[in-house]
Structure formats: structure tokens, C-alpha cells
Amino acid sequence: MNKAKVKRRVGKYEVGRTIGEGTFAKVKFARNAETGEPVALKILDKEKVLKHKMVEQIGREISTMKLIKHPNVIRLYEVMGSKTKIFIVMEFVTGGELFDKIVNHGRMREDEARRYFQQLINAIDYCHSRGVYHRDLKPENLLLDAYGNLKVSDFGFSALSQQVRDDGLLHTSCGTPNYVAPEVLNDRGYDGTTADLWSCGVILFVLLAGYLPFDDSNLMNLYKKISAAEFNCPPWLSFNAMKLITRILDPNPITRTTIPEILEDEWFKKDYMPPVFDEKDDTNFNDVEAVFKDSEEHHVTEKREEQPAAMNAFDLISMSKGLNLANLFDVEQEFKRETRFTSKCPANEIISKIEEAAKPLGFDVHKKNYKMRLENMKAGRKGNLNIATEIFQVAPSLHVVEVRKAKGDTLEFHEFYKKLSTRLDDVVWKTEEDMQEMK
């Protein structure tokens, strides 16, 4: 990896590696050069936003997050714009997704699930009090900080109260099918409060059961199950937990339990500690309009400087949970939406091996320098699965290979990586201790 790599700086932020990708945006790890604080930098292409008429939605997402200042919701610190890009500076959390916790460990004990559910209800209740409805609540959009506290993220589908029509209802169907309320599916309008609450009920079921209450490979059958609230609680749940879930997963939004009623529920109230935080309302929306303007006075400075494509200690730490570098170099690390392994093979050899392993699995391979994009030619549950890989040099004879889901279903990504890793056995660096364990 002797080619030079471009190091970017946007305003006061040093921009690092990509940590997430979407159709219209990339999210990169960055840090405030003045304070050293790590942040997540969401970067949107202005041309794409305008071409696809996304100005209103992006503006709504930014405005929504600026309104919400709650300890269990991802904070938006700052919004900036250049001639071609929009930069959204957000809180960076290191604990991964709640989804990963379920995938890796299965169902939770009731006291652990209760704690997350209490934080979720607190956050959603606060959002609703500010006239904000999330509309895509699911474990993948619930992140965890270094202390294990829940953080609601991804307000891309959120709606503000101003979008409610004259009938007092929202009319845009959105969200992930398994978590969507029946009234959202019937397309006759719905209340954002009760719809979000249904999704919270599905999440609680998943935390306690380890699987979805409504699931079917046939979409029409899935919709029928949701509309009829056709589900069964597993026998290991306590009676009070079952009762609460049943009250939330009521297919009739009028008789469905409410957040004030949940706050008084016997199961919910156990060990309950309401959050204490500063509710100063000093929100300024001037920068939201400014990012879409072409005036030079509103543009942030972007700097690029050439430097070797090496991974320094800052990059290593950002790839691990907190300061625990064992998470980076442990070959058997718990697997999430991204993973990485170390290799003593030359970078070109690693690329060739990944290509050889991916093609028989039905993936097209696109290469550029030391990055690769693998695209499954067969569509899955959420379209074609796309995998992004990148090779970093830690030392002349040691590389870190990152494998990340760029698009598609997370569970399909898990299955893909299992198959890929068995084909890369001779590439992954094994310590002497690993070799002893294999004997």
C-alpha cells in the first residue's frame, strides 16, 4: 500500500474512514481538531439531493434532530455546506447497534430488556412532545454508547407535526414491514404517536423473545398477520411482560395503550429512573437554510492533503469499541454490520483472494486501488446485497481488512461473511496461540 492517500479536513473536523453508507449519503468518522472530540460526519451530495428532490426530506431530518436534545437520542451538533456537499455533524457512539446485541447473544433477561425499553419510551415520549414522529423504529436504528445507554438514531423517515393533514393524521407509508403498525399499512392515515408505539412493542417482543412477532417470507401474509395482531408470546415471558406487549400490539390504534399508561405499568415501573437533563430551547435553524445556498459566505472550507495510506493509532482506536484494541485484532470478534481481520499477506494478494472467494458466491467484484465493492447479482430481502471492503496498512508486513455492509439485509450479510471467511482461512493472520487451539 505505497500509494498516497488523500486526508480530508472539513472546517475544524479531520475526516477519517467511512463507517456507514446509504443511497444519498456516507457517514464518516471524524474528530474535532480543536477539542479532539470524536464525531460522526454525514456527507450528502448536493447534486443528488436536488436531482432526486430530496431537499425537503433532508431539511426535515436536520430540523428534526436539531429539535431533539435528549440523552437517549443521537445529538446533532452542527450543519455545514460547501459548493457540492452538505455536512451534518452528529454524536459518535461506540457501542454498536442493539440489533447486533440480539444477533450475537439472542434474547435478553427481562431486567436488561426493561432498561432498554424504559430508555426507548423516554426518548420517544420526548420526541412526540416536540411534535416529532420517528416512523422507522427498529433495533438497527437503536445504537448503544460506551456505557450501554440506548441512543435513537436515523430520523430519515421522521415526520414533523406540521405535516399532519386536516384530518389530524399522517399519510405517508414508510418504515420496515415487520415493525410497521397495521394502520400504516391500510393507507387510510394514521397517528404518528400510536404508530411509533406499535414499533416499540415489536422491539420489546424481539428483546424478550429473540425473534420477530410477525414474520413471513410472503409480504401479503406478513401484512395479514400484522393487521390481525397474530402472534404468540413465548412461554418464558412473565405474565406482566406478556400483558404489556399485548396491550401495545393492539391492532386498533384507538384502544392501543398509551405512553402515559405504559409509564404507570407494573412491569415497566420496576427499577425505573426518569432521565435528568437540561432542556434549554436554544435551537437555531438558520444553518439549515444556509447549507442549500450557493453563496460563498455560507460555505465551509474543505482541505485535502496527501499522505501515505497508513493506519495510525487514532484510526485504530476509532475502529474499536472505546480504547479496547482487542476488539480490532481478535479474529473471533463478535460479528456486526462490519467486521475486520488482520493479515500478513501483501495487499494485492488479499484483494485477489477476496475476489476468488466472492465470485463463486454470486458476487460481481469492482476494484479501485485498495478498495473493493462486491455486489450480489441476485436480489435479497432488501434488494441486492452490497459489500464494501478496504485494506489499511498498519506496518510494512501487517494489514487490517475491513468488510462492511454497504446496502441490503444485515442478516444476509452475516451469512455471506460466514461463507467468505471459510474461503479466506489462509489469508487471515493467526497468532501462535490461535494455532495451538486449532491442534
DSSP letters spanning 211-233: S-SS--SSHHHHHHHHHTT----
Report how far residue 275's alpha carbon sits from residue 152's, in angstroms, rounded to the nearest whole number.
Answer: 15
Choose the final residue of a domain: 92, 120, 140: 92
What pLDDT shows up at residue 283?
59
**Amino acid at residue number 75:** R
Whichever domain contains 132, its CATH number is 1.10.510.10
What pLDDT shows up at residue 208?
96
Report how far residue 271's alpha carbon sits from residue 119's, in angstroms, rounded to the nearest whole number.
Answer: 12
Residue 120 falls inside a structural domain: yes
In angstroms, the Cα distances linking 43 to 25, 79, 85, 209 are 5, 10, 7, 37
Count how many domains the chain has.
3
What pLDDT shows up at residue 334?
44
75 and 113, same domain (yes or no) = no
- Determine contact, residues 139/102, Cβ cutoff 8 Å: yes
147 and 225, same domain (yes or no) = yes
120 and 37, same domain (yes or no) = no
Report how far residue 154's alpha carbon sits from residue 142's, in angstroms, rounded to the nearest whole number.
Answer: 9
- Judged by DSSP in three states, 409 sits in coil
What does residue 309 show for φ and ψ, rounded to 5 degrees? -80, 65
Choose the final residue of a domain: 66, 92, 118: 92
47 and 24, same domain (yes or no) = yes
What pLDDT shows up at residue 27?
84
Residue 63 falls inside a structural domain: yes
112 and 230, same domain (yes or no) = yes
Whichever domain contains 332, its CATH number is 3.30.310.80
Residue 116 falls inside a structural domain: yes
What pLDDT shows up at residue 424?
87
314 and 262, same domain (yes or no) = no
DSSP state of 370: T
What pLDDT shows up at residue 318?
56
Residue 1 falls inside a structural domain: no
217 and 113, same domain (yes or no) = yes
What pLDDT shows up at residue 125?
93
pLDDT < 50 stretches in the chain: 1-4, 157-175, 306-309, 321-335, 435, 438-439
In angstroms, the Cα distances linking 97 to 6, 277, 311, 347 are 30, 23, 25, 30
19 is in which domain, residue-wise?
7-92
Residue 368 falls inside a structural domain: yes
Residue 296 falls inside a structural domain: no
Report how far residue 122's alpha carbon sits from residue 274's, in angstroms, rounded to the nearest whole number.
Answer: 8
Does 368 count as an annotated binding residue? no
Where helices occur in 345-424 by DSSP H, the ranges are 347-358, 410-423
What pLDDT shows up at residue 66?
77
260 and 143, same domain (yes or no) = yes
264 and 136, same domain (yes or no) = yes
Whichever domain contains 65, its CATH number is 3.30.200.20
pLDDT digits over 179-215, tens only?
888 998 877 777 889 999 999 999 999 999 999 999 8
**Amino acid at residue number 130:** R
Q: C-alpha angle with apex 185: 405 to 235, nearest 5 degrees?
A: 75
Residue 303 falls inside a structural domain: no
Residue 299 falls inside a structural domain: no
147 and 234, same domain (yes or no) = yes
157 and 65, same domain (yes or no) = no
69 and 205, same domain (yes or no) = no
Catalytic sites, residue numbers? 136
Q: Is pTM, for the whole model, over 0.85? A: no
Choose the final residue of a domain: 239, 269, 299: 269
